[in-house]
Every structure is written in structure tokens, then in C-alpha cells.
Amino acid sequence: MSGNKEFDLFRINEDHEALREAVRDIADDKIAPYAAEVDAESRFPHEALKALVASDLHAPHIGEEYGGAGADALATCIVIEEVARACASSSLIPAVNKLGSMPIILGASDEVKQKYLPRIASGDAMISYGLSEREAGSDTASMRCKAIADGDTYVLNGQKSWITNAGESKLYTVLAVTDPDGERGRNISAFVVEKDDEGFDFGAKERKLGIKGSPTRELHFDGVRIPADRMIGAPGEGLKIALRTLDHTRVTIGAQAVGIAQGALDYALGYVKERKQFGKAIAEFQGLQFMLADMAMKLEAARQMVYVAAAKSERGDDDLSFFGAAAKCYASDVAMEVTTDAVQLLGGAGYVQDHPVERMMRDAKITQIYEGTNQIQRMVMARQLLKR
């Protein structure tokens, strides 16, 4: 780990707390009322998108020079956390806008930044991230999608799998092999693909366990001609930029997991104080109190890990890879545990859709899988430890 001598790794200041209150009010008023319906109908949460764009919370991380709010990494995590507390599907609007745009922010030319970041900041376009393929999930370097140079363009052929908000986003950061004979992992480049590019299409919506309001689809490329000036960074730098992106955005998945867990704990607390058995509220039983204490303790530990990792993301610390992986891994494991315990605390009521905790449990599962499975996160952490 880095030898940062400052005790104050992060600070929740008055602006952060004011932001939390504002986002929570919007989430409770304009997002939560639709969460069950969005889940039941597997439909995109347009109400949430409208509310977030109106409040400049849909892509808060984009800098003011591009028309964005210029929120720091911690503030962006707070936005995602508070939206996820109400509706996990809706929290993927700011989370995936950051995921899709971070390669541009980290590696693109000024011309590409000026062309696309203002569109995302204004709410004109969402952006998704196309890295994984059917046979290239954790092993991203084995991707088969190709972009072959042809004059001042690249011709893109292949597919990408499990792409969040696919079809709803107008822009896509796509990784493809540009030098088939080149060194594995260093022969991949990144491009911005636009939804209306000829030859670009989508697969059917996946039928999922959770986050049903966020469409997950394949991207299909059939001779899509991309102008060379839409490349992000230099040829062959794509995978390096993609992995740097994940160091930053895994923190946001940790924030999403914390928000889901907080929503489940809040609901369970209200339920156990009202539910009566054996003549008293079940909250008075010590066995349940111990469950609640463990849930809150682990949740708060996860939150602190996410906030520390967010501060490291903002500073670009050398040990971000470890802390980003640790925050995502621990917070998502905690979210799965807390939401499962919330269902248990409600008993039979927790297992039916009349209460939101079963949805939260289903939504929590994906946080252990996407942006790198938690098994991969542990590999990342171990490698960082062994390199010290």
C-alpha cells in the first residue's frame, strides 16, 4: 500500500452531506415509487433518468469544462449509493455513464473529449461499455471482436456480451483487436461507436435474476465503419485504458452494493419494530438484534472501504488497484449477506413481492459478478500484495 502519511484518507464535508440529502429526497420522491414496477415489467426506469438529468446527477463525474457537474469520486459514489438504496436498476444510469466515459476521460484526445463528453454531461446521450464477449469474460485479452484499418477508417466485426443499458445508450466504448498478429493484450484498441452507425445492432434483452430495469444485451457489429479519429488513445492501448478504467469504476459498484444493502437494512428495521409475535415487537428478541447489529457493522465497514477507495480514485494513488478491488469485493459480499438476512428477518413476508427486500436480494447478486467477479478481485488484490 502507499505510504500516505495523511490520517485523513477521505473527508465527508458539508457539501457531500448536502448532496446526500438532495439525492435521497429525489430518490425517495421520484425513483423509489417506480422501483417495483420497473422490476416487475423489466422496463427501463425512464422516470429515474428524467429526474437524474433534471438534477444533473446522471453523470456527475464529468468535468465542468465539458458542461458537467464536476463531482469528485466520493460525491459520485454518494449519488450512486443513494439512488441504489431506492432502485438498483436506476443507479446504473450514473454508474454506467461513468464506466463508459472513463476511457475517454483517461485516454482520449481533446477532440474526442470535446465531441462526446458534453453530450453525456447534458443528458443528450448515455454511454455504455463494451469489453466482455461470450468467450472473453474474465480473460478479456482473448477477445475476438476485430477492427481492421481501412484507409482513414476501421471496419468493426464481432460481438460484445452482457452490455449494461444496451439499446438505451446512444454511445458505446468498444474494445477490439486491431492487430491480429500482435502481442496478446497489446493488440487491442478502444473506439467510440454510435448507436446509429450502419451495421451496428443489438441482441435480445437478457432475462435476468435482478436489475431487471437495466437492459442487458449483446452488441453486434457487421462491417461497422468507424472513423479513425474515434479511436480512444493510441493503437494497442485499448486494454491498458480499459483496465485503468476498471480500477476507478469498481469503486462505484462498491457504492451501488452499499446502497442496496442500506435499503434492505432500512426496510428490515422498520418491519421488525412493527411486527409483533408472542405479544411484543420482534425487534425486542436478542437473536434478531444480533442479526441487525452484524448487518449494520458490516455495512458500515463496507461503506468506509468504498469511501477510502473513492478518495484514492480521486487522487490517482498507486494502490488504487488493490483498494478498488477490495472495496468492490467486500461491499458486494456484504450486500449479498445483508439483503439475504433482511429477507430472513421478514420471514415469509420477505419472500414475496409485497416487500422490496426480495428484489434487493436479487439485485445484490450481480454486484458480486460484474466489473470482474469477486474471485477475480481476489486475484487482483493478491497480485498487488505480491508486487509490494
Give φ, ψ of 277 to 5 degrees.
-145, 145
Residue 155 has pLDDT above 80, yes or no: yes
Instruction: Calculate the average pLDDT of the chain.
Output: 96
Grid coordinates representing 335?
Answer: 450486500
The catalytic residue positions are 371
pLDDT band at 5 (very low <50, low <70, confident <90, very high): very low
Residues of the chain above pLDDT 70, percent: 97
pLDDT of residue 4: 45
Residue 11 has pLDDT above 80, yes or no: no
| 21-77 pLDDT, tens digit each | 999 999 999 999 999 999 999 999 999 999 999 999 999 999 999 999 999 999 999
pLDDT of residue 83: 98
pLDDT of residue 7: 40
The CATH fold of domain 239-387? Butyryl-CoA Dehydrogenase, subunit A; domain 3 (1.20.140)
pLDDT of residue 10: 61
Domain 14-122 of CATH type 1.10.540.10: yes
Residues of the chain above pLDDT 90, percent: 96
- Residue spans of alpha helices (H) in the chain: 14-26, 32-41, 46-54, 73-86, 88-107, 110-122, 238-274, 286-315, 320-346, 357-366, 374-387
| 207-228 pLDDT, tens digit each | 999 999 999 999 999 999 999 9
| 137-154 pLDDT, tens digit each | 899 999 999 999 999 999
The CATH fold of domain 127-237? Butyryl-CoA Dehydrogenase, subunit A; domain 2 (2.40.110)
Among 1-15, 94-108, 180-194, 353-367, name the one with the lowest average pLDDT: 1-15
Among 9-18, 199-208, 303-312, name the one with the lowest average pLDDT: 9-18
Ramachandran area for residue 162 (φ above 0: left; ψ -120 to 50: alpha; else beta): left
DSSP string, 297-350: HHHHHHHHHHHHHHHHHHHT-TTHHHHHHHHHHHHHHHHHHHHHHHHHHHGGGG
pLDDT band at 388 (very low <50, low <70, confident <90, very high): confident
| 226-285 pLDDT, tens digit each | 999 999 999 999 999 999 999 999 999 999 999 999 999 999 999 999 999 999 999 999
pLDDT of residue 12: 83
For residue 88, give the amino acid letter. Answer: A
Domain ranges of the chain: 14-122, 127-237, 239-387
Owner of C-alpha cell 460484474: 370
Rounded to an integer, what distance in angstroms lies between the CA atom of residue 387 and that of residue 376?
Answer: 17
Grid coordinates representing 100?
Answer: 463508459
Among 3-7, 183-187, 203-207, 314-318, name the one with the lowest average pLDDT: 3-7
Residue 338 has pLDDT above 60, yes or no: yes
Rounded to an integer, what distance in angstroms lies between the CA atom of residue 361 and that of residue 339?
Answer: 5
Do 215 and 167 meet the contact criterion of CB atoms below 8 Å apart?
A: yes
